[in-house]
Chain A
Amino acid sequence: MRRRKLYIFVEGHDDVWFFERIVKPHLVHYYRRVFIIQHARLSTKKKYNYIRSMHEMRADYLFVVDIDYFPCVRAKKEDIVGYLRIIDSRAIVVVIKEIESWYLAGIGNHRSRKLQLPVLESTDDITKEDFNALIPPKFRSRRDFMNELLKHYDITIAIQKNKSFAYFWQ
């Protein structure tokens, strides 16, 4: 019986939606419940209190962050452990560069052409700004476009196109 619960901390709304639609449906086979917590607006003390609660209740957790301006994953992890001393560094998942790169990673070449997107071999360097610039004119709403990407998402393709997603998934 799946007894453990998993809490996934993600940064903002776009991350919540990605994890809800793509990641959670896979994880529910391994956990009794999977919860997603938005941490972008939480104070450090609040994040600390959340993680301490999870240690006390013996729940698993993942702490997903963007790499931002850090040169490598290790530096980002060290930064987080520096201000959130309670966190288990193995639970930190670093997205390179931002969640938008994971959104685009799951789109195959054929679907890219159908969506009037450029065919990208890798989405590792895609930033939020790049993503916004790539939104085809027929999508007047960014949310509509993101939902369209998730509708056609292929995890095996995402693993090939984005290293940080592949590392997380595998």
Chain B
Amino acid sequence: MSLKKLKVTNFKSFNKAEMQFGSFNVVIGANAAGKSNFIQIFQFIKEVISSGLDNAISMQGGINYLRNMNIGASKDFSVTAVFDQEMSWTGKVNNKLEKIKMHELIYEFALNFKQKSIDYAISKDRLHLRCEFFKVTKTRIGTYNDEKLGDGEIIISSRQGKINVIMHKPAHSHLDADHIFASFLREEQLPPHTLLAETSFFSAPLIRETFNGVSIYNINPRLPKAAIPITGKAMLEEDAGNLAIILKKILKNSETRRKFFNLLAELLPFVDNLDIEERPDKSLFFKVKEKYFSSQFLPAFLLSDGTINATALIITLYFEKQPITIIEEPERNVHPYLMSRLVNMMKDASSAKQIIITTHNPEVIKYATLEDVILIARDKNGFSSITRPHNRKEIRAFIKNEIGLEELFVQNLLEG
């Protein structure tokens, strides 16, 4: 699964923005350009799914801080996310097997605001699944053969809480919406301020699985320095506060342990060993043995921020299972000498999962390729705009004449 495209209107510093993503994406921009607001789009949708729309809006500080302060109620807030998402469903129609393979998921919703009020209404809520339809036949030797019937799409939408399912299918397919979604589910009426993404309705698991596949990290190296209770999430938390728990799991398994130390040696060559200590009070902390001290481990609270940051980064890149990983300023506390290794590691990891990072560090930009870079900048009206510098001829002219991307960034020449 990967995120192909994201569109947003009237959200924080964005008026109207659209961005396309590759496997490795370096989102750059000056301070207050809108990089964190870009991350907030994902946070907001994830919050909608986990806590509901009203709570998600409240977590953003309310309607007034969700939407752009200059645009206010004059324009809908909207978000559209397009994912490459593969999923299939096989069903029997008239005693014949048919299969639907989904390859693209588009989820969009919009909120309409009332003037001089903090109230809002859902003006759009739509899940669009692009699919291929197949006839499935059993071969002589008992295997199944898929014969493509054509392309189609399933559109699930909610209008004033009423759910509607439309299926566009190839002429030779006998499937219809009833075969996939029970009609009683389609008669469900969603309560006000409720999106398809947050209901128990059949479309929600698809949306939930997709957005839960997006993990966001903003590593705080101070948190893993403290001992933490042995009870905690099995996934690395956004701030890496539960790093000791995750490390314990990794170090227990010989294969993940081998892989972890191989990768750690590249970023932190002075680390000889790393271990977890469980205290009698049922708390955990991790400790590191440096090559310079043959027998003594250093407890986490004595480790440098860079050591903790690098350790957490390796986990986000190689050990967390979510297919889309967003990391805010991964280079924090990392020595410039290690930057090329860090960027190479992120590129390497992006062959298995989609990586999106935000940065304003020229050293990171120096080792990224032009095609990976997405620039967020404020336009003259104060709106954040999103561009890909490699599409611009003047940037290509600079690069051709050996002026590095990082220098163009430092000189503030990347803006269009």
Give the B-binding residues of A (Cβ under 8 A).
5, 7, 33, 35-38, 46, 49-50, 52-54, 56-57, 59
Give the A-binding residues of B (Cβ under 8 A).
393-394, 397-398, 400-403, 411-413, 415-416
B411 contact set on A, CB distance < 8 A: 35, 37-38
Set B403, B413, B416: member contacting A46, Cβ < 8 A: B403
Contact B413 A52 (CB under 8 A): no
A36 contact set on B, CB distance < 8 A: 412
Contact A33 B415 (CB under 8 A): yes
Contact A57 B393 (CB under 8 A): yes
B413 contact set on A, CB distance < 8 A: 7, 35, 37
- Number of cross-chain contacts by CB at 8 Å: 33
Contact A53 B412 (CB under 8 A): no
CA distance A23 to B279 in the complex (A): 65
CA distance A57 to B413 in the complex (A): 14
Given contacts A37-B411, A37-B413, contact A49 B394 (CB under 8 A): no
Instruction: Closest A residue to B403 by CB, please name it.
Output: A49
Contact A35 B403 (CB under 8 A): no
Instruction: Closest B residue to A51 by CB, please name it.
Output: B401
CA distance A53 to B402 in the complex (A): 9
Instruction: Closest B residue to A7 by CB, please name it.
Output: B413
Set A38, A46, A52, A59: member contacting B394, Cβ < 8 A: A59
Contact A53 B398 (CB under 8 A): yes
Given contacts A5-B394, A59-B394, contact A53 B415 (CB under 8 A): no
Contact A49 B401 (CB under 8 A): yes
The 6 A-B residue pairs whose C-beta atoms are closest, nearest first, are A49-B401, A53-B397, A57-B394, A53-B401, A57-B397, A56-B397
CA distance A38 to B407 in the complex (A): 11
A56 contact set on B, CB distance < 8 A: 397, 400-401
What's the least CB distance linking B391 to chain A, in Å? 14
Contact A50 B415 (CB under 8 A): no
- 20 interchain pairs (CB within 8 A)? A5-B394, A7-B413, A35-B411, A37-B411, A37-B413, A38-B411, A49-B401, A49-B402, A50-B398, A50-B401, A50-B403, A53-B394, A53-B398, A53-B401, A53-B403, A54-B397, A56-B397, A57-B393, A57-B397, A59-B394
